[in-house]
Amino acid sequence: MSTMAVPDVAVAPVDEGFWTRGRKVGLTLLALGLLAAVLFGALATDQQARFTLSDDAAGAALEINGTIGAILFGIITIAAGAALLAGVPKRWFLPVLGVGLVGFVLSFLCWQVSAAPTGQNFMPLVNIIRGTFILALPLIFGALAGVLCERSGVVNVAIEGQLLMGAFSGALFGSISGSVWVGLVAAAIGGAFISLLLAIFAIRYLVDQVVIGIVLNLLAVGVTGFLYERLMQTNIERYNSAPRFGNWNIPLLEDIPVLGPALFRGNIFLYLGLLLVLVIHIALFRTRWGLRTRSVGEHPTAADTLGVKVLRVRYRNVLLAGVVAGIGGASYTLALYSFTKNMIGGKGFIALAALIFGRWNPTGALLAALFFGFADQLATYLGAINSVIPSQFLAMLPYLATILAVAGLVGRVRAPAADGKPYIKG
Amino acid sequence: MRSVRGMRIASIFAVGGLVLSAAACGEAPDEDNNAGSGAKKFSACMVTDVGGIDDKSFNTSAWKGLQDAKAANSNIDTKFVASKAEADYEPNLTQYVNQKCDFILAVGGLMANATSKIAKANPNQAFGIVDANPGDANVYPMQFDTAQAAFQAGYLAAGMSKSGKVGTYGGLPIPPVTIFMDGFVDGVAHYNKTKGKNVQALGWNKETQKGSFTNDFAKQDEGKKVSDALVAQGADIIMPVAGGSGLGTTSAAKASGGKYSTIWVDVDGCESTPDCSAIVTTVVKNIPEAVKEAVLKAAGGEKLQASPGFVGTLANNGVSIAPYHDFESKVPAELKAEVDKIKADIAAGTITVTSKAQPTK
Q: Which residue of B has its CA nearest to A211?
A: B10
SS3 state at B80 = strand
Residue B353: which region, alpha, beta or left (left: phi > 0; alpha: psi -120 to 50)? beta
- The closest alpha carbon to B57, from B261, B245, B295, belongs to B245
Number of A/B CB contacts below 8 angstroms equals 162
pLDDT bracket for residue A209 (50, 70, 90): very high
Beta bridge partners of B167: B202, B238
pLDDT tens, residue by residue, A325-352? 999 999 999 999 999 888 998 899 999 9
Measured between beta carbons, the chain A residues lying within 8 angstroms of B17 are 215, 218-223
Which of A56, A236, A340 has its CB closest to that of B218? A340
Q: Helix (H) and strand (E) counts for chain A?
A: 17, 3
How do the domains of chain A map onto residue ranges?
A: 21-115, 126-409
- Mean residue pLDDT of chain A comes to 89
Q: Is the pLDDT of residue A6 over 60?
A: no
Which of B25, B232, B274 has its CB closest to that of A124? B232
Residue A346: what residue type? G
Which of B20, B220, B222 has its CB closest to that of A225? B20
A156 vs A2, A83, A137, A151, B270, CA distance in Å? 10, 40, 18, 10, 41
pLDDT bracket for residue A385 (50, 70, 90): confident
SS3 state at A105 = helix
Q: Cβ of B212 and A380 within 8 Å? A: yes
Question: For residue B23, what pLDDT is reported?
Answer: 66
Which of A117, A131, A219 has its CB closest to that of B16? A219
Structure-model confidence comparison of residues A412 and B287, the more confident one: B287
Question: For residue A15, what pLDDT is reported?
Answer: 57
Which of B14, B203, B252 has its CB closest to that of A215? B14
Q: Beta strands A61-65 and A48-52: pairing type?
A: antiparallel
Beta bridge partners of A124: A52
pLDDT tens, residue by residue, A388-407? 887 777 778 777 777 776 67
Do B252 and B224 contact (CB within 8 A), yes or no?
yes
Measured between beta carbons, the chain A residues lying within 8 angstroms of B21 are 218, 221-222, 225-226
Q: Cβ of B218 and A220 within 8 Å? A: no
Report how far residue A209's alpha carbon sits from residue A416's, in angstroms, rounded to the nearest whole number: 15
Q: Cβ of B17 and A221 within 8 Å? A: yes
SS3 state at A39 = helix
Q: What is the CATH number of domain A126-409?
A: 1.10.3470
Q: Cβ of B226 and A120 within 8 Å? A: no
Q: Cβ of B14 and A345 within 8 Å? A: no
Q: Which among A230-239, A292-301, B83-92 has the top mean pLDDT?
A: A292-301
Question: For residue B338, what pLDDT is reported?
Answer: 95
Residue A182: what residue type? V
Report how far residue B111's alpha carbon sits from residue B89's, in angstroms, rounded to the nearest whole number: 7
Q: Cβ of A386 and B226 within 8 Å? A: no
A412 vs A54, A358, A360, A405, B177, CA distance in Å? 39, 11, 12, 9, 45
Residue A145: what residue type? A
- The closest alpha carbon to A152, from A339, A316, A306, A358, belongs to A316
Do A324 and A189 contact (CB within 8 A), yes or no?
no
pLDDT > 70 in chain A, percent? 94
pLDDT tens, residue by residue, A244-266? 998 899 998 888 888 888 899 99
Quote the crossing angle between the two packed helices A159-177 and A209-230, to the nearest 10°. 30
Q: Beta strands B204-205 and B210-211: pairing type?
A: antiparallel
Do B306 and A370 contact (CB within 8 A), yes or no?
no
| A 102-161 → B contacts, CB under 8 A | 117, 119-120, 124, 127, 131, 134-135, 138
pTM of the model: 0.88
Interface test with A, best of B225, B227, B241, B249 (most A CBs within 10 A): B225
Measured between beta carbons, the chain A residues lying within 8 angstroms of B212 are 380, 383-384, 391
Which residue ranges form the domains of chain B, and what is each CATH number? 39-143+289-312 (3.40.50.2300), 146-285+331-348 (3.40.50.2300)
pLDDT in tens, chain B (361 residues): 677 778 788 888 888 888 887 765 544 444 444 444 456 789 999 999 887 777 777 888 899 999 999 999 989 999 999 888 889 999 999 999 999 999 999 998 889 999 999 999 999 999 999 988 888 899 999 999 999 999 999 999 999 999 999 999 999 888 889 999 999 999 999 999 999 999 999 999 999 888 899 888 888 999 999 999 999 999 999 999 998 899 999 999 999 988 999 999 988 989 888 899 999 999 999 999 999 999 999 998 888 888 888 999 999 999 999 999 999 999 999 999 999 999 999 999 899 999 988 886 5
DSSP-derived secondary structure for B25-57 = SSSPP-----TT--SPPEEEEEE--TT-TTSSS
Question: For residue A258, what pLDDT is reported?
Answer: 87
Which of B26, B230, B252 has its CB closest to that of A384? B230
The predicted model gives A187-199 an average pLDDT of 96
Instruction: Please check whether residue A307 touches B, CB under 8 A.
Output: no
Q: What are phi and psi of B264, to 5 degrees?
A: -90, 170
